Amino acid sequence: MIHDLIVIGAGPTGLSIASDARQSGVEQILVLEPGENAIPAEAVGRFALSVRYQAIVEKIEALAPDRVLVETAEESFTTRMLVEVAQPDYRPPEFPFEASIAERVHVRRVPAEVDLAGADVLVVGRGDDAVSAVVELLAAGANVVLAFSGRITSLSRLGRETIASLEHRREVTVLWRGEVEEAVDSHGFPMVYWVGRMTPALQFDHIVTIAPAEHSHDHDEHPNPPHVVVDPLADERHALGPARTWETLIAMPGVLQGRRAVTTRPPRTREIEQLRLEHYNATITHFDHSHDDLWVVRVQPDRADVTHRAGQYTTLGLGYWEPRVDDADEEMSDEERQRLIRRSYSISNPVVDSVGYLLDPREHDWMEFYIVRVPPSDGRIPALTPRLAAKRVGDRVYLGPKIAGRYTLDAVDHPDLDVVFLSTGTGEAPHNSMLNELLRKGHRGGIVSVVSVRHLRDLGYLDTHRELEQRYPNYHYVTLPTREPDVPKRYVQDFIGSGELAGLLPSGLDPRRTHVYLCGNPAMIGPPEWEGSTPRFTEPSSAVAVLHGLGFTPDRRKRPGNVHFEEYW
């Protein structure tokens, strides 16, 4: 039998080509896969595809202008058109990482002998191979985050469908255009820092990178049938990349010429209200504008449980289909505009209720968030806050089902200990929750909250904290505006180094009885890099560096100290 089409490779790229051919009326189609699985596996049955697994091709030979011989170790096939999905060469990670975690940073896949059940794995890369890596890791039982460095339009049709489905079912978290700045050793595990710092530093058990070697960018823009080679990592510009191969094939002479194009859009156009019904699971119940760019927002989830620990965070989301309050041009396709934007936010707390009593978090069914609108800048177009700015009470949003974070009061294990909160801007959100917890428990030690902002109007909770100072003699709230007229510019680090912070605590700034919590601008915090048990500070004037010089110990995972920090900026 002579096949009309043989495809080598049963990943998203190969199965997309085979399924497009099937939908266009091509009958004799065979897919050869050297491995044991197809991705996505459901496409095989959905499009009635014939797949030979563990079929390693040993020989390809042109028999005639319209005939190709394909031989595996066990069988021989003849086809009028052969499409081979290349297995690219991969280069090492482009981001720096410490040598001590090298065994946890892998190229393309984790070694088979590693048990991934329950492991947290970051996939960094692009193209259909990134989709395949995610599916393989999920099948191994891993928890997966994908930092996708390309555009969704560069994927094959099945690649797009697969990642969109996994993201919608919350089986994978996708950081679109997520760019890793570096990975450092945190107690033997990779701690990943991100370019732009819009995503908090995240720790993983393993990192898998998928980046093509330089020669993988060479593409034949004018391929000749009947044997063509497709690059699964090529972007949408290339004729034989995942996104454009089918349109290239049907324009070439041969058995596929003139076949119909298969739409790459979803099977139906969904209206905005339908998208909202499908994705949103919470309602805005309070929207207080401290000013146009600073808000206190309360969100009530459809599910009743809002239980969390003071200091933890969750995610808020809106669809790209929502209108923006600015005119920034995001240059998105129709398909991209149907995706959901998710961002992590610490859960804040009003501290007191409407009649002035300390708020009992168990008695309300909403979560509060303290949010600043991020303006567009050169090379960066924020997605979420310009859309949230257009929302009002009663509007629907997405609220993440998972509440997480180790930035809590666990270390404060005695009511006589002193507690210091240091923050910039909306970084005081988790400190509000922690303050509420301390006051409700009758904490006897000194409590100081220091907040650095540009202007006094950027303090959304100022009146509440001034009232609390009057009611609780052991509490002090210090504001450090840096751009207020006639007010000397001082930063958090200056307030520590001058001795003024120590003067507000009963026993001074004593490392033996004080815990310090920092949240906000990473430049203020200045988390250390570790050389064994010794911290090394790249920013010697940072708050953590100043505290270390006063005898404090920065926190490390499984090695708690008395300086704890969170990074949201």
**DSSP per position, 108-144:** SS--TTS--TT-EEEEEE-HHHHHHHHHHHHHTT-EE
Task: Tell me how many domains the chain contains.
Answer: 4
Give the residue-averaged pLDDT of 512-524.
95
Please check whether residues 83 and 229 belong to one and the same domain. yes
CATH number of the structural domain spanning residue 182? 3.50.50.60
Report the pLDDT averaged over residues 301-309.
Answer: 87
Q: Is pLDDT of 57 > 90?
A: yes
Task: Specify if 321 maps to a domain.
Answer: yes
Residue 164 and residue 242 share a domain: no
Compute CA 548 distance to the chain's CA centroid, rounded to the nearest angstrom: 31
In a domain, 528, yes or no: yes
Question: Which token pair is 277?
Answer: 């019904």
pLDDT at 223: 64
Q: Which residue type sits at 342?
A: R
Q: How far is CA 276 from CA 73, 322, 409, 546, in A?
A: 52, 9, 37, 48
What mean pLDDT is predicted for residues 218-222?
Answer: 51
Indicate if 79 and 141 belong to the same structural domain: no
- Top pLDDT among 443 and 201 is at 443
Let me know whether 237 and 329 are in one domain.
Answer: no
Exposed e or buried b for every residue in 16-48, given b needs 16+ CB within 10 A? bbbbbbbebebeebbbbbeeebbbbeebbeebe
Note the pLDDT tens digit of each residue in 407-427. 999 999 999 999 999 999 999
pLDDT digits (tens, 9 = 90+) for 451-462: 999 999 999 999
pLDDT band for position 290 (cuts 50, 70, 90) = confident
Same domain, 426 and 562: yes
- Residue 363 CA from chain centroid, whole number: 32
With respect to residue 407, please indicate whether it lies within any of the assigned structural domains: no
What domain range includes position 205? 99-210
Report pLDDT for 221: 52
CB atoms within 10 A of CB 187: 11
Residues 172 and 66 in one domain: no
Contacts 24+ apart (CB under 8 A), 102-106: 104/189, 104/190, 104/204, 104/205, 104/206, 104/207, 105/183, 105/190, 105/206, 105/207, 105/209, 106/206, 106/207, 106/208, 106/209
Q: Are residues 389 and 449 in the same domain?
A: no
Q: Is residue 259 domain-resident? A: no
Q: Does residue 352 sit in the same domain as residue 301?
A: yes
Query: Is residue 261 in a domain?
Result: no
The whole-number pLDDT of residue 197 equals: 56
Residue-wise pLDDT for 2-16, tens only, equals: 999 999 999 999 999
For residue 266, tell me if it sits in a domain.
Answer: no
pTM value?
0.59
Nearest alpha-carbon partner for 315 in 199, 169, 428: 199
121 in Cβ contact with 137 (< 8 Å) = yes
pLDDT at residue 268, as a whole number: 42
My answer on whether 220 and 80 are in the same domain is yes
How many CA atoms, within 13 angstroms, populate the side-chain half-sphere of residue 135? 21
3-state secondary structure of 376: coil
Q: How far apart are CA 359 and CA 74, in angstroms?
A: 73
pLDDT digits (tens, 9 = 90+) for 542-556: 999 999 999 999 998
Tell me if 14 is assigned to some domain: yes
Amino acid at 392: R
Same domain, yes or no, for 286 and 382? yes
Confidence of residue 265 (pLDDT cuts 50, 70, 90): very low
pLDDT at 486: 86
Clarify whether residues 476 and 552 are in a common domain: yes
- Whether residues 326 and 243 share a domain: the answer is no
In a domain, 406, yes or no: no
pLDDT at 477: 98
DSSP 8-state assignment for residue 262: P
Look at residue 12 in the predicted model and tell me its pLDDT. 96
